[in-house]
Amino acid sequence: MKGWFTLQTVTAQTADFTPDLGVIRRVLVVDDSRVQRRILSVSLKREGYDVIEAASGQEALEICRENLPDLVLSDWMMPGMSGLEFCRALREIPVEYYCYFILLTSKSEKGEVAQGFAAGADDFLTKPVNGYELRARISAGERILRMQHELTEKNRVITDTLDELQRVYDSLDNDLLAAKKLQQSLVPDRFRDFGHGAVSLLLQSSGHVGGDLVGHYRISDTRVGLYSIDVSGHGISSALITARLAGYLSSSSPEQNVAMQVYPDGSHEHLEPREVVTRLNEIILDEMETEHYFTMLLADVDLETGKIVMAQAGHPHPLIQRSDGTIEQDGPGGLPVGLIAGAEFSQFELQMHPGDRLFMMSDGVTECPDTNEGMLGEEGFEEMVHSLRGYALDQTLQAIVWRLDDFNGQQGFPDDVSGILFEYRGA
C-alpha cells in the first residue's frame, strides 16, 4: 500500500499538472496484482486517460493485438509471461504507430536495465511508483510519441506525394513513348531505292524524343531532296519543332512543301536549296514564335548526272566517300536557321560518281564523347567511315551507332544521333 499512498499524495499536490492528451490517450496497465492495477488505473483515469487492465502478459498481448494502446505500464515480475517477455513479443507485432512501454520494477542494476532496453522497453519506473515521477515519465513518452506521429504523418504525405508523382511520371512516360512512336513515324522510309541511287536514314534520340530530323522528298522523276536537321535543345519542345518542319518538307503533299513554288495553274517548280533555307528562316522567326533554332543540310540530288546542289546552315560538313575509299569532307558552314532575320544562305555543288557515298550526319556523331573527356571529331568520323567501307548500305548507319556506343564506353548518347547515307549508282 506504500506505493498507493505515494501516488495519491503527489496527485493531490499537483492538481494543476494536467496531462497532454494529444497523443497518449489509451493506457494499458499490466500487473498480476489486482490492487496495484487499481491504484495505477484510478490515478490515470482521474487525469483523463482511457485505462485498460490486464492480469498477465499473455492477456495484455492479446489486447495489444486487437487494439494497440498508446502507452503500456507493465510489471516486470509476473507469473507465466514476464513483463520483459511481453515487451519483446509486443515489439514483434507489425503496427503503424509506436507504443510507448514503461516497465515497473524493483530492479535497478545496470545489467538488468540494459536487458530491459534490449527487449524494447522505453523507460523504467521503480516500485513503489511515485506519482510525480510517473507523470513526468508519461510526459516524456508524450513528447517522443508526438514526434513519432508527426514523422509518420510526414512520411505518409511524402509517400502519397511520391505515389502521385509516380502516377504522373507513368502518365508522362506513356505520353513520351507515344510521342516517340509519332516522331519515328515522321521518318517512314528508313531505306528507299530510287533506281540510280538509294538512301538510308538514321534517327536515334538521346531521350524519348529529340530534336533531330532526317528525310527525303521527290522533286521529279530524276531528282530527290535530302535533308538533315538538328533543332537546338532536347526533349518535347525540340520534338515539336521537328514535327512542324516535317510538314514543311513533306514528300506526300508537294503543295505544302516550302521547297516547292506552286503556281495558280497548279504547276510547280522546285526552289534552289538556299531559297528553301531562306524560307524556313523566315517561317521560324515570323510564325513559330520560338527561341529554338536549327542547323541543316539540304541537298538537291540529280539521279541521272550525280550532281548535288547543297545548302549548309550551321550543320556539320557533308562527307563523301568515293568508290576508291577516298574521303572528302568540306563545306561553307553558314549560319543556323532561325537566328537572324534576313540572313543570307549560300549553296555549293558536289559531283558524285557511281559507287560514291554521301553522309549527312548531325553533330551528335562528331561530338560524341569518349571516356576521357574528348570527342570523336571530324577526323575520328572519317576513320570510322573508312573502317566501314564494304558494309551494305542498309547496315552502315546502324554500324556507326554501334561504333559510337563502343567509343563512349556504352554510357549512352548525350545528344541525338541522326543522319542520311546516300549511295549513287549512276545512270
pLDDT tens digit string along 285-318? Answer: 988 778 889 999 999 999 999 999 999 999 999 9
pLDDT at 281 over 60: yes
* 52, 28 Cβ separation under 8 angstroms: yes
pLDDT band at 400 (very low <50, low <70, confident <90, very high): very high
* 417, 204 Cβ separation under 8 angstroms: yes
Mean pLDDT of 249-273: 77
| DSSP three-state, residue 27 | strand
Give domain limits for the chain.
2-155, 186-424
pLDDT tens digit string along 180-193?
Answer: 666 666 666 789 99
Which pLDDT does position 185 carry in this prediction? 67
Grid cell 567509343 — which residue? 407
pLDDT at 219 over 80: yes
Three cell numbers written together for 313: 546552315
- CA quadruple 338, 342, 343, 347: dihedral sign: positive
**What is the chain's mean pLDDT, rounded?**
86
Three cell numbers written together for 234: 532536347
The fold of the 186-424 domain, in CATH, is: Phosphatase 2c; domain 1 (3.60.40)
C-alpha closest to that of 196 among 308, 297, 271, 273:
308
Which pLDDT does position 15 carry in this prediction? 39
- Classify 2-155 by CATH class: alpha beta
* 361, 305 Cβ separation under 8 angstroms: no
What CA–CA distance (Å, rounded) separates 333 from 270? 23
| DSSP three-state, residue 265 | coil
Which pLDDT does position 269 carry in this prediction? 80
| pTM exceeds 0.85 | no
pLDDT band at 427 (very low <50, low <70, confident <90, very high): confident
Mean pLDDT of 49-60: 95
What CA–CA distance (Å, rounded) separates 311 from 334? 9
Integer-rounded Cα Rg, in Å, for the chain is 40
What CA–CA distance (Å, rounded) separates 7 from 121? 22
pLDDT top residue among 279 and 254: 279
Least confident residue range of 6-20, 52-66, 206-220, 225-239? 6-20
pLDDT at 9 over 60: no
Which pLDDT does position 16 carry in this prediction? 42
pLDDT at 206 over 90: no
pLDDT tens digit string along 104-121?
Answer: 987 666 777 888 889 999
pLDDT at 5 over 70: no
On the CB side of 206, how many CA atoms lie within 13 Å of its CA? 21
- CA quadruple 375, 385, 193, 295: dihedral sign: positive
Secondary-structure breakdown of the chain: helix, strand, coil percentages, each rounded to the nearest 5: 40, 25, 35
Mean pLDDT of 28-56: 93
C-alpha closest to that of 424 among 229, 226, 276:
226
| DSSP three-state, residue 331 | coil
pLDDT top residue among 281 and 262: 281
Least confident residue range of 197-206, 246-255, 341-350? 246-255
Single-letter code of the amino acid located at 35? V
pLDDT at 138 over 80: yes
Residue 339 DSSP class: S
What CA–CA distance (Å, rounded) separates 230 from 316? 10
